[in-house]
Chain A
Amino acid sequence: MSQRIIVDPITRIEGHLRIEAELDGNTVKDAWSTITLWRGFEVILKGRDPRDAPLFVQRFCGVCTYSHYETSILACEEAFGATPPPNARIVRNLINASQYITDHIMHFYHLHGLDWVDIVSALSADPDKAASLAREYSDNPYNSSGSHYKAVQARLKRFVDSGRLGPFANAYWGNPSYKLSPEANLVITSHYLDALSVSKIGAQMMAIFGGKNPHPQTLVVGGVTSAMDLSADRIGMYLYRFKEIEDFVNRAYLPDLIMAAGAYKDEGLAGQGAGVKNYLCMGGFPLTDDWSRTLLPKGVVKGGDISKPLPFDRMKVAEDVTHAWYEGDENLTPWEGKTEPEYTGFDSNGNVKGDGKYTWCKAPNYENEPFEVGPLARFVVGYAQNDPNIKPLVDDTLKATGLPATVLFSTLGRTAARGLETKLICNHVEGWVNELVANMKAGDTRTWTKCAVPREGKGGGCNEVPRGGLSHWIRIEDGTIANYQAVVPSTWNCAPRNKAGKRGPYEEALVGLKVAKADQPLEIIRTIHSFDPCMACAVHIIRPGKDVRQFKVR
């Protein structure tokens, strides 16, 4: 007997996402993911000064606030023919590091944590046992002691007793798919509260060189504007905060991750939530001005075959709209992107029309196949390429947990890769700071390369951002924007079926998933959250041209 369940809104994400799943008994047989908001940025960008595009597209999303900004600048720099000087490259890496570290911490605790951690169960924990448990995973666990855990418990209890749970109300507490012991739940819940303050430090780090957070405002085509911030005191302020946040990563985030991985390893080993097993990444954190070397890898792995890493070619990226609320069914590259909205709504039962068009999200593809992007993709590709930074991090973790490499292909693997990536980036921040200082000391104070808006030109910025491979594509005519497209990580991951009927990464990851209680689809939420969805980013901008308001509603 099959049953259709709808989860809308999916909370603890940026934006508006709906999931419908067909259940056979307690197993997901089929799934559809739908984005329910469309804003139409691309129409708005046409005819504007190309230098305005980066600040415009930054507003795709206040969470990935730096990601679109930098990637749009990269697209413009190709079109303008400008290469920023080393100081600008390093300052951008430092701002980007604060974006990554803060994002990943916030995701693990505030957006994803409650899928693994049962807050109500933490109430019955023994605080002293919780403190010894924390010491099993770290020599010096963050903000941890029996008395502290007791205070946290008391705080939670008052919250529960008041009868007004606020943001914790109506969740799936007590669901059998929660596997952590009460003590483990208490340790992670306590760090959930600590992480609220810690993420503010990351925001301050961004503001030092970025002017503010969210929506920093110091990047320009050709460089950065924060020339006055390249001083000893500002760099010191940044480093001091970095040390604080790195400390949290080492003593809270990573130990908690390993603890959770132990409790949920069976799901990981069973490959729950694996999805399409095609992984793609475009390179991020340039180590050289020409991007010939990057910290985050660039490449492709198909069908989970890590013995055959393939090169990434940006010209193979295309978007299919067969099942998206746009006209037609062509599969076009971003520079030629042709899409006009065609909203067909839901069926008479209020369900999505799965055979037809059912989302505002396009289906990006590479060689006609759906691909997953994000930290897991970067780690799978890096591992396959024998990356000297990534391979040892993964191997050490697998050795410590006694798990095989195949555990990566799962919901758990996705969450683990994000934690390891945070460590990877932390390992490089001080090196960049030293490089910046050495460069300034040697007398190079340049922050900008002279450039001007070209009459004609085009550029495609390909970048790795916290949620995955991001590309922005600009075409300039008569000195203004003629066409602008962004192919966004959450668009890759949230893609609907393609023309051949192949499911997108979210949809595929849900198929075969076991749901303990149909009215509490915890497992579905957990798998979707493991991708770190960001819907405002994913929902597409369309090609300029027709007046959208004229389109009929069918």
Chain B
Amino acid sequence: MLKRGIKKLLAIDKRVLILGALIAGVLFSFGTVKTMAYLDSPGFCQNCHTMKSVYTSFVDSTHAELQCNDCHLPHESEVGKLFFKGRAGMTHIFYNTLGTEDIPDRIYATTRTLRVINKNCAECHKSTVDNVSHDAKENCMSCHQTVPHGSDFKDDSYHQPPKSGELLKNKGGF
């Protein structure tokens, strides 16, 4: 079956074949790049319940224009990024399917992720780090703990009269 397929393919005009391959190649790489970008985006991450609250706080933050993985993945090399993404993705799939009972109340960044995030902060905020001494603590988040997910606890709405029905809307949860 495979052999017959190859024979048939080779029978096609070579020029058509090259053109076809070219178009297929462009479409494929375009698709891959787009898919990979989507997999880095907030829109994709918030598909899981566990990410709803960090998503809400993130879209209200000054960093809202960025992608989740601009901060959460290493960017030194494409291979390193993909490897990290693959490893993290596998654990996420596990916890969101078979391991839901083991998700803790509060999710902390792992040491590995913390290191990556720290590097990414410094990468964008290079001039700040260069101009102002930043050696008081080890991690950016040790001081800047509310960046960018800190505002989800109590926003301005808490200091307004409550909206009728808001507790019913999400069943009081995320």
Please say whether chains A and B are actual partners in one complex.
Answer: no
A contact residues vs B (CB 8 Å cutoff)? none
B contact residues vs A (CB 8 Å cutoff)? none
